[in-house]
Structure 1
């Protein structure tokens, strides 16, 4: 088995999905340079225009926590945050197994 990583799952409702998707692409480019970043998968609900999710992988929990704090102050994330009406889930998980 490979080294466990941290998966961050955020499920959000957005006010304007096209604007959210555009702003999310910019945020994804910005986060690539964050220490501990592994990957980001942008998910959209096919049957709800206001529902999106992000699956972000980090090497470890301290990196995920540091990124969460940095996102709050980084202007590159402000446009994306402005499109989010509510967050129904924001949680970190340790990978137990993967195939």
Structure 2
């Protein structure tokens, strides 16, 4: 899996209610930025003026590009105006997938499957990682993907996208892709469902 980037910003706001509103608006805008994965918005438990934002990106380049836009772009002027002072800001590499935001309206696809006879789990997992790295993570709207092993011996492939429509489109992109075909050659699909978080 490629390195992901986590942006951590600690700051204070003058008007917490207005800051909450502007932060929600900023999230709505930034979700469409290339490479965006998640934005965890924290507020101080003892002081509502204290804020920490954890923003996950697919790459440092995506994080830095977005930081420039948020810092200078007219679309984020209202958000910037609520910030009284910035205590710290930094970008950090993550050698595992960055945290995936789970927001109402995010789409998901859950595929249930078994391994074909004679296929080792390690081989399936390696093929899955290649497929995610080389193809799925590069699709518009993709937010994250996880495998789960159930007690029954079946597996779940859980994909999160920024909408149900995008989740379906990403699933349709599997057809004809060599990395996806290599993964599919190792498994016996049982079911597939789409939905969205509420």
* Alignment TM-score, normalising by the size of structure 2: 0.47
Q: Does structure 1 conserve the Cα–Cα contact (< 8 Å) formed by 2:4 and 2:96?
A: no
How many residues align? The count is 98
**CA–CA separation in structure 2 for the residues paired with 1:72 and 1:49:** 23
Mapping 1:45-64, distance limit 5 Å: 45-64=44-63
Shift in Å, 1:70: 1.4
- Render the CA deviation track for 1:52-96: whole Å, top value 9, x for unaligned: 111000000111111111123322211111010100011001114
The residue number in structure 2 matching 1:15 is 14
CA displacement at 1:97 relative to structure 2: 4.9
Determine if contact 1:26/1:76 at 8 Å carries over to the other structure: no
Unaligned runs of 5+ in 1: none
Helix, strand or coil: the match of 1:79? helix
- Asked if 1 retains the 8 angstrom alpha-carbon contact of 2:36 and 2:62, the reply is yes
Shift of 1:45: 0.6
Unaligned regions of 5+ residues in structure 2, if any? 98-198
Within a 5 Å distance, the mapping from 1:28-43 to structure 2 comes to: 28-43=27-42
Partner of 1:77: 76
Of structures 1 and 2, the larger Rg is shown by 2
- Scaled by the length of structure 1, the TM-score of the pair is 0.90
